[in-house]
């Protein structure tokens, strides 16, 4: 399997452009199942999860072309309404096809999904929502079977503002005639991008003064063209890499307001930022990094997907920082690997306490999940010596052209496979 070899100790310098958002691209790709007409999507990042989603669409009966960040999706025969476990096990987002398939066929059979080992992330919120819309849910040999004589509009209150459940129920409701209202929904920018695309397809989705999503379902939706929003997690990761290496980096093509909390915390930690409407510059800083306590929360709170890269920065702070992980259990699996690199981290349940050190040391480490893997890459960029990161396939799920982008900023990083 591929590994990353990083010779650290270099300050990142230069400009890097944000890619399209993985977390927006995946549900938008899935939403094309709601129509037989062609859809054209731009700024779709070339990632492992995107490639898996395109395979899923092809299996279900879509014709797909992907070139230079543009995906064209059209009908290619009769759609299927079920998926094999071999495709679903590769990522949790594959379960999002349930909503569109249920809406179109009144029946869908989807295996329980796989993905990163950062927590249970149950699909019960999805299933209870589907039941409110008139479907029955059964389990058989690891598969979820959804059936309905008729789907009906409803008012649904999510027990937790789940991003996946919000998107799944939203897509399903678009083809249920009448008014469906979703309460306690996720408010991530990626949700807004999905809504933008669905409305371009002819859906009628709005947000009322109470923050609820109101969907007036239609009999059919049509094709549409759309550009995916910038990836705020990738953007934030490069900002943190710049800060941790004491470099001077400008991230362009991003939406700074989507990372408002991160920008505030970076400034509180001592860094100077220059922010425009579509870029953020992290200026070189040689002073002490102030330890900051962060608590992950649904948007607009501190993003759980930036918790691991943030922890790497705090490993180099002058004092003791804390990270409270309130979204997923098991999301401190990168901490022991950072300790192998000289960090001082103590974890207890959902809290990590990080006592800053003057420098990190190179080591042989392995990624346990996507964002934890990026934390190790940033640590390797800071550490003196040669760091080797295994299980790069985790990182490939969320960072487009990682080595090329970091190399353009002056990093010494390369990919290799010891078996070849």
> What confidence tens digit (pLDDT) does each residue in 221-278 have?
999 999 999 999 999 999 999 999 999 999 999 999 999 999 999 999 999 999 999 9
Work out the average pLDDT over 372-385. Answer: 97
360 vs 382: CA distance, rounded Å: 7
pLDDT at 201: 98
Do both 14 and 26 map to the same domain? no
Q: Name the domain boundary from 227, 257, 288.
A: 227
* Active-site residue, selected from the candidate residues 116, 172, 315, 382: 116
Backbone φ and ψ of 28, nearest 5°: -65, -40
374-378 mean pLDDT: 98
pLDDT of residue 215: 98
Q: Are residues 288 and 381 in the same domain?
A: yes
Query: Residues 223, 38: contact at Cβ < 8 Å?
Result: yes
Reported pTM = 0.94
CA dist 387 and 62 (Å) reads: 42
Domain boundary among 192, 227, 262: 227
Which pLDDT score, from 0 to 100, does residue 120 have?
Answer: 45
Please indicate, yes or no, whether residues 212 and 162 belong to a single structural domain of this protein. yes
Task: Classify residue 419 as exposed, middle or buried by CB count within 10 Å of its CB (0-12, 13-18, 19+).
Answer: exposed
Q: Are residues 10 and 40 both part of a single domain?
A: no
Q: Does the structure show a pLDDT above 90 at 164? A: yes
Same domain for 399 and 258: yes
Is 174 considered catalytic here?
A: no
Domain of residue 53, CATH code: 3.65.10.10
Number of domains making up the chain: 2
Residues 215 and 238 in one domain: no
Question: CA 136, 198, 258: angle at the middle one, nearest 5?
Answer: 105
E-strand spans in 45-142?
Answer: 62-67, 70-75, 107-111, 136-140
Inform me whether the pLDDT recorded for 88 exceeds 70. Answer: yes
Q: What range does the domain containing 73 cover?
A: 22-227
User: What percentage of the chain has pLDDT greater than the value 70?
Assistant: 98
The average pLDDT across 85-107 equals 89
Q: What is the pLDDT of residues 143-155, one digit of tens each?
A: 899 999 999 999 9
Domain match, 163 and 256 both: no
What would the mean pLDDT of 49-56 be, rounded to a whole number? Answer: 94
Which among 178, 196, 227 is the end of a domain?
Answer: 227
Q: How confident is the model at residue 373 (pLDDT cuts 50, 70, 90)?
A: very high
């Amino acid at each position: 399997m591929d590994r990353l070899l990083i010779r650290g100790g270099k300050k990142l310098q230069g400009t890097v452009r944000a890619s399209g958002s993985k977390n927006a691209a995946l549900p938008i790709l899935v939403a094309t199942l709601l129509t037989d007409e062609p859809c054209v999507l731009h700024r779709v990042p070339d990632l492992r999860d995107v490639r898996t989603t395109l395979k899923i669409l092809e299996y279900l009966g879509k014709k797909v072309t992907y070139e230079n960040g543009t995906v064209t999706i059209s009908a290619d025969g009769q759609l299927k309404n079920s998926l094999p476990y071999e495709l679903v096990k590769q990522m949790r987002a594959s379960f999002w096809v349930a909503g569109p398939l249920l809406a179109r066929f009144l029946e869908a059979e989807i295996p329980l999904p796989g993905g990163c080992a950062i927590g249970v992330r149950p699909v019960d919120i999805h299933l209870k929502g589907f039941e409110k819309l008139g479907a029955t849910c059964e389990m058989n040999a690891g598969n979820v079977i959804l059936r309905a004589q008729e789907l009906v509009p409803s008012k649904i209150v999510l027990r937790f503002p789940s991003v996946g459940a919000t998107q799944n129920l939203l897509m399903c409701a678009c083809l249920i005639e009448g008014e469906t209202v979703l309460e306690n929904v996720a408010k991530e920018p990626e949700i807004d991008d999905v809504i933008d695309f669905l409305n371009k397809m002819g859906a009628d989705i709005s947000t009322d003064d109470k923050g609820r999503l109101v969907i007036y379902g239609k009999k059919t939706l049509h094709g549409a063209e759309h550009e995916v929003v910038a990836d705020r997690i990738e953007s934030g990761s490069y900002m943190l890499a710049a800060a941790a290496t004491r470099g001077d980096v400008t991230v362009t093509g991003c939406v700074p307001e989507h990372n408002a909390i991160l920008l505030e915390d970076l400034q509180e930690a001592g860094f100077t930022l220059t922010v425009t409407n579509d870029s953020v510059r992290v200026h070189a800083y040689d002073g002490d990094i102030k330890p900051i306590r962060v608590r992950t929360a649904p948007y607009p709170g501190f993003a759980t997907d930036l918790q691991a890269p943030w922890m790497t920065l705090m490993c180099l702070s002058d004092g003791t920082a804390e990270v409270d992980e309130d979204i997923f259990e098991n999301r401190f699996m990168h901490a022991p690997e950072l300790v192998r690199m000289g960090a001082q981290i103590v974890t207890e349940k959902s809290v990590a306490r990080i006592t800053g050190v003057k420098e990190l040391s190179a080591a042989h480490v392995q990624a346990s999940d996507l964002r934890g893997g990026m934390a190790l890459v940033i640590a390797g960029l800071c550490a003196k010596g040669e760091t080797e990161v295994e299980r790069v396939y985790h990182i490939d799920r969320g960072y487009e052209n990682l080595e090329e982008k970091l190399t353009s900023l002056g990093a010494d990083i390369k990919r290799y496979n010891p078996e070849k």
